[in-house]
Amino acid sequence: MSDLAIQSYLPPVIEVESQDELLEVAMGPHHPSTHGVFRMDVALDGERVVRLKPVFGYLHRNHEKIAEKTTYLASMPYTDRLDYFCSMTNNWAYALAVEKLAGIEVPERAEYLRVITAELTRIQNHASAIGFLLQEMGASGTPLMYAFREREIILDLFESLSGSRMMCNYMRFGGCRVDLPAGWLDAARQVVAGLPRFIDEIEALLTSNEILMARSQGVGILKPDLAINAGVTGVMLRATGVNYDVRKVDHYGIYDRFSFRVPLGEHGDIYDRYMLRVLEMRESVKILEQAIPQLPAGPILDPKSKPRGFRPKPGEAYGRIEAPKGELGFYLISDGTGNPYRYRVRPPSLINLTILEDMCLGQNVADVVLIFGSVDIVLGEVDR
Amino acid sequence: MLGEGILKGLGETARNFVGSFVSEDRLTTVEYPEQRLLPIENTRDFPFLVYDGADPDAGLRCVSCQICEKECPPKCIYIVKSTDKKPDYVGKPQFYPARFDIDISVCMSCQICVEVCPFEAIKMDTEFELSTDDRFGGLILDKHKLAKSNEHFQRIHPTEAAEVDARLAEEKEKVEAKAKAAAEAAAAKTAAESAAAKTAAESAARKAEDGSSGSDAEGVKP
């Protein structure tokens, strides 16, 4: 990794016979393939993409500025709305940043609960990401419905734990909000026991499917040096063969205690990204199988933490985790008052999307939809 | 063979299709308005105000401290404090909300009002069929629409309600014990005072008697 030179970079220029013959198409903002309100201004030479300009900001909700005007705790429910598929990991990243800022210790049981909920989140996110990718490939419904069926079971667990399916608002500075309700752990054990069957089913349905292979192998290739220079993280980066997982690199939480592997791709194409998501689900199941029996008894919240009047000492902190979509970080500066002086989100969706043009240039317009889908973004996090 | 993967996948869908006629756990949906899933106990959507007893106005636990109004992230709570006081559940005179509105079109069901409330007065409801044709007025819930009995709370969140009731009973007991102790102390004090006054009066009388009997210990010096 160290021998890669960091240099100024421009996307390649696609040769065309005549600039006047190009057709400009605005894909979006209300395009069924755009996962939300997002626009791609594409210049086409026949079927070939010559230029592509992503236009963000349709879903901008001023998250960072609102967070600077409210208390630390009041930003917690807003983080659910960043990447609304993975509210548990968003909560964790923000709680981690605040805990670093204020030096709060997290009890053992809360750490385990965080790992369990985060890995369940990763599984349901990857399952739906695969479903959406196949939906965009034209497999209308079936893979997505299979993924959503499994996702619903996991969301039921989240609902009985935190009260809400998607907007969990579960973690607090120094632990978690509530302890497990009666019978939750058995239900979770049952769900986890059923997950390998679901992953086998998805693999039987898709992995050797010739249409999927024809549409995705060798399409939307991302080179490792470009991925590193652009700051791409998560599945997108690992599909190019770069071994970088924040869980292994940063040792946050208690991930050191579990044995799991980081699957790596080779070609950096769409098929690699699909395959990596399947393999990561299997690794997450492995983590869950280790974490659920080990769950210790004890408090779930640091006894010193209180809901009101939280004022950390002046300072700054950056907390980051491996969210399902990549490295999710929160950067906070405290000036000693009840509100953060600066609150910044490093959203993996936005940064993984910045190399969209490089992956799409020279490809067919039908593949743009697939390449975009394989990035796995949520517009709530891109625009914030 | 080309197409083998597709056939394998189709076999998987066929298994699910046929399985849905045979096995219950392959049927994952219900016919919603007629059939309903059992509610999950911890479910939350919008806040409501808890009252004790039969009268929603008299039994409201809210003392209008306005903490939830301050802590609410999207600022959907609007409270006007009363100017007079009413006795609360332990009999202590407290302010009450003259007006308590929640705009549920703004509320994001985050439960922070419940967490910060020191009086267990606001809790999360599970009622989700709230659609209305009035977009503005119909989604602002006032004090009367928000007030729901403690029995309702016990019905929708039994575990949490049991904890809250135990905590409140303990608090009430403590307050009553304290009041009783204070009353006893006050009674003892008054008794002691009256006794002291009595002894003082007696001694003064004795002294006066002594003075009149000729002793000049306390006598006025010329």
The whole-angstrom separation of Cα B124 and Cα B131 is 18
Residue A201 pLDDT level (bands cut at 50, 70, 90): confident
The torsion angle over the Cα atoms of residues A212, A216, A217 and A220, rounded to 10 degrees, is 180
Task: Give the Cα separation of B200 and A65 in Å (integer).
Answer: 72
Question: Looking at B85-99, B150-164, B173-187, which range is the least confident one?
Answer: B85-99
Q: Given pLDDT bands bounded at 50, 70 and 90, which one contains residue A206?
A: confident
pLDDT tens digits, one per residue of B1-18: 777 888 888 888 888 888
Domain ranges of chain A: 63-383
Residues 155-214 on A with a CB inside 8 Å of B are: 156, 159-164, 167, 169, 177-178, 181-182, 201, 204-213
Q: Alpha-carbon distance B77 to B62, whole Å?
A: 13
Q: Give CA–CA dist B206/B216, Å, rounded.
A: 14
Please state, rounded to an integer, the average pLDDT across all residues of chain A: 87
Q: Where are the domains of chain B?
A: 47-156, 161-204
Specify the DSSP class assigned to residue B38: P
- CB–CB contact B8 A204 (8 Å): yes
Give residue A278's pLDDT band: very low, low, confident or very high (50, 70, 90).
very high
Q: How much is the pLDDT for A287?
A: 92
Q: Give the amino acid at A149.
A: R
At A104-124, the pLDDT tens digits run: 888 989 999 999 999 999 999
Residue B126 pLDDT grade (very low, low, confident, very high; cuts 50, 70, 90): confident
- For residue A7, is pLDDT > 60? no
Residue-level pLDDT at A279: 93
Residues of A with Cβ-Cβ distance to B41 under 8 angstroms: 160, 181
pLDDT computed for residue B215 by the predictor = 44
CA distance B198 to B208: 15
> B118 and chain A: CB distance < 8 Å anywhere?
no
- Report, at the CATH architecture level, how domain B47-156 is classified: 2-Layer Sandwich (3.30)
A206: nearest CA partner in chain B: B9
pLDDT-based confidence at A89, cuts 50/70/90? Answer: very high
pLDDT reading at B214 higher than 60:
no
Return residues 37-76 of B near A (CB < 8 Å): 40-44, 67, 71-73
- The more confident residue out of A9 and A280 is A280
pLDDT at B181: 85
Q: What is the pLDDT of residue B2?
A: 77
Lowest mean pLDDT among A166-175, A271-280, B168-177: B168-177
pLDDT over 80 (residue A136): yes
Chain B residues with CB inside 8 Å of A306's CB? none
Q: Work out the minimum CA distance from A346 to partner chain B, whole angstroms.
A: 22
* Nearest Cα residue in chain B from A71: B71
In chain A, which residues have their Cβ closer than 8 Å to the Cβ of B16? 146
Give the pLDDT confidence of B162-185 residue by residue, as tens digits. 888 888 888 888 888 888 888 888
How much is the pTM? 0.84
Q: What is the pLDDT of residue A3?
A: 52
The highest-level CATH class for domain A63-383 is mainly alpha
* Contacting residues of A for B67, CB less than 8 Å apart: 308
